Amino acid sequence: MVIEIGHFSVVIALVLSAFGIVSSILALKTRNVDWVRVGRVSLTSIFILLSIGMASLIYSFLIRDFSVHYVATTSNSQLPLFYTIAAVWGGHEGSLLLWVFILSTFSTIAVWLHWRTQPTIMPYLIGMECLIIMGFLLLILFLSSPFDRLIPAPPDGKDLNPLLQDPAMVMHPPMLYMGYVGFSIPFSFAMAALFSGRLGEEWIKVTQRWTIFAWLCLTTGILLGGYWAYYELGWGGYWGWDPVENASFMPWLVGTAFLHSVMVQEKRKMFKVWNLFLIIVTFSLSLIGTFLVRSGVLTSVHTFATDPERGLYILIFVTTIIGIAFGSLMIRAHKLKSQVEMDSMVSRESMFLFNNLFFLVATATVFLGTLYPLMVETWQGTKVTVGPPYYNTVFMPIALGLLFLMGIGPYIPWRKASQASLKKNFLVPLVIGLLATIILFTLGIRSIFALAGAFVVGFSGAAICIDFGKISSLYSRRASVSFLKGSLSAFTSNQRRYSGLLTHVGVLVLVIGIIASTVYQTEKVVSLKVGDEFIIDDYRVKLERIHEVRGKNWSAQEGVFEVYEGDSLLTKLRPQKRVYDASQTPTTESAIYAKNMGHIFLTMPDVSPDGVAVARGVINPLILWVWGGGGIMGLGVLLNIFRPRKRDE
Amino acid sequence: MGSKNKKVSLIISILLVGGALAYLALGNFGENLVYFFTPSEVKAFSPDYYQKKVRVGGMVVEGSMEAYADRLGMIFELTDGEATIPVTFEGIPPDLFKEGQGAVVEGYWTNQHKFQSNLIMAKHSEDYMPIELKRAGVELPRKDFMKSLIQ
C-alpha cells in the first residue's frame, strides 16, 4: 500500500512539472507575477511529493516488502540496516529517483533563496528545472519504475551486490548526483540569461557558490569512488579509466574549467560566450554521464543486456536539452561580444585561456575514449575498448601543464605582466622546482613522470607559499602581531582567493600522492601454506593461520598474516575471502596497514581446499597523500563557500 | 606591439598548444584500441593477428580448468558454442571466474594456436546490477594501468 502512495505522488509530481513549465511560459507572456507564484508552488509541491516518493521506497526497503520488484532485486532479509537504506540507490531505478529528488530539492532551495533578489530570473529558472524534472519523471514512471509490484512476492530478495555493501559506496552515488544536479542551477541561470537577454555578469555572481558547491560534491563523489575501488575491489589502485568513472570525470573537467574562467568574466567582462558554452557543456555532460551509466549503454560493450527503449528515450531527452541550450546560445551569441580585448599574451587572462584549453582537451580525450567504442559498436558491429595506456599518455602532459599554470596564473597580473614582475615572482619558484628535480635525481629517481612532477609541484608549491608568506608577514608587521595571526588576517582579507589557493595546495598534495603511489608501487603475488612467509619491500609477511569467520550475511575464510619489519612484529593483517549467503557471490576483502603515509595492502584472492592460499601484497607509498590532498581541497572549497560576503557580491 | 599583432600571436600560440595536445590525443589513439572477438573468429585469425592484443569472450568449458602446480595461473578452454580455444593464463583470476560461466580474456593468439592471457574479466550469470558488476569485472586491468605510466 505504502509503495502505491509513493507511486501516486510521483505521478502527481509529473503532472505538476508540466504545470510548472506552462505557468512559467504564461508568466513570461502575461508579465503577471501570479503565474510565477504558481510556478513556485508547483516546484515546491514537486519537492514534497518526491520526498513522499523517496520515503515510501525507503519504507518498503525497511519493512522488506519483497512484493516490490525493485526491493526484491536489490535487497535481502539478511541485509544489514545501513545497507538496506543504501540499497535504495543500489540499482538504476532507485538511483534515478534519487537524482530527480535531489534536483527538486536544489531547485526548490534556489527558487526560495533567490526569489527576492532575482525576480526576473524566476520564470526561466522554474521552467527549466521543471523541464528537466519532467524528463526524469517520464523516464522513471514509464521505463524504469522502482514502484512496480512483483506478484506473487518471492520469499526473499536477491540481495544487494556484495561489492556495494560498503560505507563508501553508500555515500558515493548521492555525492556524485549532488554534483551533477548542483550544476543544473548555474545552468538554469545561464539559460535564463540567454532567454531574457540579460547577459551581464550577474548570473555568474549569483551562482558562484552553487557552482563551487556542485564541484565540491562531484569531487568528493569521485574521490569516494576511487577510495572504494581501492580497498573493495582489491587491486590496490584507485582509478582505472573505466567508462563508468570517465562518465563522472568529464563533467568534473569542464566544471573545473568553468569555475576558473568565470573569474575572467567577473573581473574583465571577457569570455562571455565561452562561459555560457562551458556551463552548458558541464551540465550536458552531467546528463550524459548519468544516462551513460544508468541506461546500461556502456555495459553493452561487455554484452550485458540493455534496454533499447530506455536508451532511445534518454538519447531524445538529452538531445532536447542540449539542443535548446546550444540553440539559444547560437541565437544570442552575436549580442555577447566582449567589450574588451586581450591586452597581452602574458597576463592572467591568457593563463585562464590556456587553463581552459588544457581542461577541454582533457575532456575531449575522455569523451573520445569513452564514446568511440559505443560508436564503433553501433555502426560497425565490432567491439572495441580503449586501453588505459591511452589516457595515461595523454593525461600526463596535460596534468603537468595544468599544475605548472597553477603556479603562474594566480601571480601574474591582469592585462599585462612586465618583465620585471615576471622575474620577481617566478625566479625563486623556478629555482626551487629545479632543485626538487635535482634532489630526486640524485636520490636515484629516474622516472620522467616523477622528475617532471617534482619540478611542477616544486614550482607551483613554492609560488603559492612565497606569495602567501609575503602577504602574511606584511599583515603581521602592519598590525604588529605574530606571523600566524598575520597569515590568518591575510587569509580572511581575501578569503575567496586564498581558499582557492588552499584547494590548489590540496591538488599538489594529491598529485604527489598519485605519483609516489603509482611509480613506486611494489606488488607481489605468492601462493603459500600456513607457516610460510614472503618478503615484500622491507617487510616480511608470514601466514600464521587461516580460519573461518562469520558476518551477518556472509561467511569467510580469513587469513591472519603477521607483518614483520626486521624482527619486530608490525601488525597482523586479516584479509578475507568472503562468500555472501544470498547470492553466493565471492568477494575479496583487503586488509590495510598505514605506515609512513603509505599503505601495506594485502588480499587473499584464493584458498584451495588443501590449504594453499594465494596472497597478494602491495606497498603503496604516500597513498595517504591522495586522500589527504582531497581533504585539503575540500577544506579550501568549504572556506570559499562559507566566506563572509563582500559588499560587491 | 600593435593590437592586431597581439591577436595574431595569441591565436598562433593557442593553435600551437592546442595542436600539440590534439596530436597527443589522436596520435596515440589507434594503437591503444583493443578489439573484441569470439573464439570462432580467433580460430580464423591470419598470422597478422598473432602480435595484436585482443579480447575474446565466451563460456569457460566445464571440466577444462586446470591450475598449474608450480606457479600461479591455469589453463582452460573458452567456447562460443561453435569453436573452442585453449587459453593459458598467468595471474589471479577475478572472484567471479568459474567454469560454465562467461568470461572475457585479454591477450595474444600465438602461432601454437593457444591464447596467452594475463587478464580475465569474469561475468556474473545473474542479471542484477550489471554496471557495478562490470566494474567488478574490470578489477584486473586496473592493476596494470598505472604501471604503464612508468614506461
Residue that the C-alpha cell 600571436 belongs to? B9
Please spell the DSSP secondary structure of A442-478, one letter per residue: HTT---HHHHHHHHHHHHHHHHHHHHHHHHHHHHHHH
Number of domains within chain B: 2
Both B6 and B59 in one domain: the answer is no
Distance from CA of B38 to the nearest CA of A (A): 10
Both B45 and B70 in one domain: the answer is yes
Write down the H helix ranges in A236-347: 243-268, 272-295, 308-332
Q: Are A190 and A280 in contact (CB under 8 A)?
A: yes
Instruction: List the single residue in A with minimal CA-CA distance to B136.
Output: A233
pLDDT at residue number B143? 31
pLDDT at residue number A647? 56
The verdict on residue A487 lying in a domain is no
pLDDT at residue number A297? 62
- Give me the mean pLDDT over the A622-640 stretch: 95
Q: B146, A616: Cβ pair inside 8 Å?
A: no
How would residue A602 be classed by pLDDT, with cut points 50, 70 and 90?
A: very high
pLDDT at residue number B2? 53
Distance from CA of A194 to the nearest CA of B (A): 27
3-state secondary structure of A383: strand
Both B103 and B130 in one domain: the answer is yes
Whether B44 has its CB under 8 Å from any CB of chain A: the answer is: no
Most A CBs within 10 Å, among B4, B32, B35, B126, to test the A interface: B32
Write down the H helix ranges in A63-147: 69-74, 81-86, 92-114, 122-138
pLDDT at residue number B76? 93
Both B55 and B125 in one domain: the answer is yes
| More confident site: A613 or B46 | A613
Number of domains within chain A: 2
Task: List CB contacts (< 8 A) between A394 and chain B.
Answer: 24-25, 28
| Strands lying side by side in the sheet with A522-528 | A522-528, A613-620, A598-607, A591-595
**How far, CA to CA in Å, does B66 sit from each of A304, A353, A603, B75, B121?**
28, 58, 23, 5, 18
> Which grid cell is A13?
509530481
The verdict on residue A3 lying in a domain is yes
Most confident of the ranges A1-10, A269-278, A602-611: A1-10
How far apart CA A83 and CA A167 sit, in angstroms, is: 8
How far apart CA A116 and CA A114 sit, in angstroms, is: 6
Is it the case that residue A614 has pLDDT exceeding 70?
yes
Burial (CB count <10 Å: 0-12, 13-18, 19+), residue A531:
exposed
| Residues with Cβ within 8 Å of residue A309, at least 6 apart in sequence | A143
- Give me the mean pLDDT over the A189-210 stretch: 89
Task: List CB contacts (< 8 A) between B102 and chain A.
Answer: 303
> Which grid cell is A278?
562551458
- Give me the mean pLDDT over the B27-48 stretch: 83
Both B131 and B99 in one domain: the answer is yes
Most A CBs within 10 Å, among B29, B34, B92, to test the A interface: B92
- Indicate left, alpha or beta for A551 from its phi (over 0: left) and psi (-120 to 50: alpha): beta
The answer for A 388-407 residues in CB contact with B (under 8 A) is 388-390, 392-394, 396-398
Q: Are B83 and B39 in contact (CB under 8 A)?
A: yes
Distance from CA of B129 to the nearest CA of A (A): 6
pLDDT at residue number B16? 87
Distance from CA of B67 to the nearest CA of A (A): 11
Q: B14, A164: Cβ pair inside 8 Å?
A: no
> Which grid cell is A104?
527538486
- CA contacts within 13 A on the Cβ side of A562: 12
Picking from A37-51, A229-243, A461-475, which range would have the lowest pLDDT averaged per residue? Answer: A229-243
Most B CBs within 10 Å, among A164, A227, A345, to test the B interface: A345
Whether B144 has its CB under 8 Å from any CB of chain A: the answer is: yes
Q: A586, B139: Cβ pair inside 8 Å?
A: no
Both B86 and B123 in one domain: the answer is yes
- Give me the mean pLDDT over the A176-200 stretch: 91
> If residue A492 lies in a helix (H) or strand (E), which one and from where to where?
helix A483-493
Task: List CB contacts (< 8 A) between A582 and chain B.
Answer: none
Average per-residue pLDDT in chain A? Answer: 89
Both B44 and B3 in one domain: the answer is no
- Give me the mean pLDDT over the A609-631 stretch: 91
Q: A163, B138: Cβ pair inside 8 Å?
A: no
The angle subtended at Cα B126 by Cα B124 and Cα B132, nearest 5°, is: 60
pLDDT at residue number B149? 31
- Residue A52: other Cβ atoms inside 10 A: 18
Task: List CB contacts (< 8 A) between B17 and chain A.
Answer: 354, 357
How far apart CA A362 and CA B22 sit, in angstroms, is: 10
User: What pLDDT, in 10s, does the model give residues A264-278?
Assistant: 888 888 888 889 999
pLDDT at residue number A338? 62
How would residue A295 be classed by pLDDT, with cut points 50, 70 and 90?
A: low
Note down the domain range covering B136.
Answer: 34-149
- Residue A567: other Cβ atoms inside 10 A: 6
The verdict on residue A384 lying in a domain is no
User: What pLDDT, in 10s, does the model give residues A208-247?
Assistant: 999 999 999 999 999 998 888 888 876 667 888 888 888 8
Task: List CB contacts (< 8 A) between A519 and chain B.
Answer: 149-150
Spatial CA neighbour of A87 closest among A62, A109, A104, A105: A62
Rg of chain A on CA atoms, in Å: 27
| Percent of residues, chain A, with pLDDT higher than 90 | 58
The angle subtended at Cα A280 by Cα A276 and Cα A286, nearest 5°, is: 150
The verdict on residue A172 lying in a domain is no
Is it the case that residue B102 has pLDDT exceeding 90?
no
Whether A610 has its CB under 8 Å from any CB of chain B: the answer is: no
Note down the domain range covering A124.
Answer: 1-165
- Give me the mean pLDDT over the A155-184 stretch: 88
Q: Distance between the two ends of chain A, CA-based, in angstroms?
A: 50
Q: Are A47 and A108 in contact (CB under 8 A)?
A: yes
Task: List CB contacts (< 8 A) between A385 and chain B.
Answer: 33-34, 36, 55
The answer for B 85-114 residues in CB contact with A (under 8 A) is 91-92, 95-96, 102, 104
Q: A382, B123: Cβ pair inside 8 Å?
A: no
pLDDT at residue number A17? 97
Task: List CB contacts (< 8 A) between A305 and chain B.
Answer: 127, 130
ipTM of the complex: 0.73
3-state SS string for chain B:
CCHHHHHHHHHHHHHHHHHHHHHHHHHCCHHHEEEEECHHHHHCCCHHHHHCCEEEEEEECCCCCEECCCCCCEEEEEECCCCEEEEEECCCCCCCCCCCCEEEEEEEECCCCCEEEEEEEECCCCCCCHHHHHHHHCHHHHHHHHHHHCC
Is it the case that residue A340 has pLDDT exceeding 80?
no
Q: A449, B14: Cβ pair inside 8 Å?
A: no
Both B51 and B22 in one domain: the answer is no
Q: Are B17 and A354 in contact (CB under 8 A)?
A: yes
Is it the case that residue B124 has pLDDT exceeding 50?
no
The verdict on residue A402 lying in a domain is no
Whether B69 has its CB under 8 Å from any CB of chain A: the answer is: no
Instruction: List the single residue in A with minimal CA-CA distance to B21.
Output: A361
Spatial CA neighbour of B19 closest among A407, A61, A357, A82: A357
Average per-residue pLDDT in chain B? Answer: 74
Instruction: List the single residue in B with minimal CA-CA distance to A360.
Output: B18
Instruction: List the single residue in B with minimal CA-CA distance to A447.
Output: B150
Both B26 and B40 in one domain: the answer is no
Task: List CB contacts (< 8 A) between B150 and chain A.
Answer: 447, 449, 518-519
The verdict on residue A295 lying in a domain is no
| More confident site: A7 or B93 | A7
How far apart CA A343 and CA A363 sit, in angstroms, is: 28
Whether B133 has its CB under 8 Å from any CB of chain A: the answer is: yes
How far apart CA A453 and CA A125 sit, in angstroms, is: 44
How would residue B13 be classed by pLDDT, with cut points 50, 70 and 90?
A: confident
* Burial letters A183-217, b for 16+ CB under 10 A, else e: bbbbbbbbbbbbbeeebeebbbebbbbbbbbbbbb
Task: List CB contacts (< 8 A) between B11 and chain A.
Answer: none
| Residues with Cβ within 8 Å of residue A254, at least 6 apart in sequence | A278, A281, A282, A285, A359, A360, A363
Task: List CB contacts (< 8 A) between B141 and chain A.
Answer: 240, 387-388
pLDDT at residue number A339? 62
- Give me the mean pLDDT over the A576-589 stretch: 87
Tell me the residue type at A644.
P
- Give me the mean pLDDT over the A163-189 stretch: 90
How far apart CA A27 and CA A25 sit, in angstroms, is: 5
How would residue A141 be classed by pLDDT, with cut points 50, 70 and 90?
A: very high
Is it the case that residue A595 has pLDDT exceeding 60?
yes
Selecting from B10, B133, B143 the residue whose C-beta is nearest the C-beta of A342 gives B10
Picking from A476-485, A566-575, B9-18, which range would have the lowest pLDDT averaged per residue? Answer: B9-18
Is it the case that residue A449 has pLDDT exceeding 70?
yes
Q: Are A160 and A74 in contact (CB under 8 A)?
A: yes
Both B40 and B2 in one domain: the answer is no
Selecting from A73, A523, A614 the residue whose C-beta is nearest the C-beta of B72 gives A614
> For A377-446, where are the E strands, in sequence order?
383-386
- Give me the mean pLDDT over the A554-582 stretch: 93
- CA contacts within 13 A on the Cβ side of A164: 28
User: What pLDDT, in 10s, does the model give residues A401-435?
Assistant: 999 999 998 888 888 878 888 888 899 999 999 99
Domain boundary among A129, A150, A165: A165
The verdict on residue A177 lying in a domain is no
Both B25 and B53 in one domain: the answer is no
Q: B21, A357: Cβ pair inside 8 Å?
A: yes
Both B134 and B116 in one domain: the answer is yes
**How far, CA to CA in Å, does A493 sit from each of A129, A275, A554?**
36, 27, 55
Whether B5 has its CB under 8 Å from any CB of chain A: the answer is: no
Q: B6, A343: Cβ pair inside 8 Å?
A: yes
> If residue A554 lies in a helix (H) or strand (E), which one and from where to where?
strand A554-565
Q: Distance between the two ends of chain B, CA-based, in angstroms?
A: 44
The verdict on residue A438 lying in a domain is no
Whether A115 has its CB under 8 Å from any CB of chain B: the answer is: no
User: What pLDDT, in 10s, does the model give residues A61-111?
Assistant: 999 999 999 999 888 888 999 999 989 988 888 989 999 999 999 999 999
Instruction: List the single residue in B with minimal CA-CA distance to A342.
Output: B7
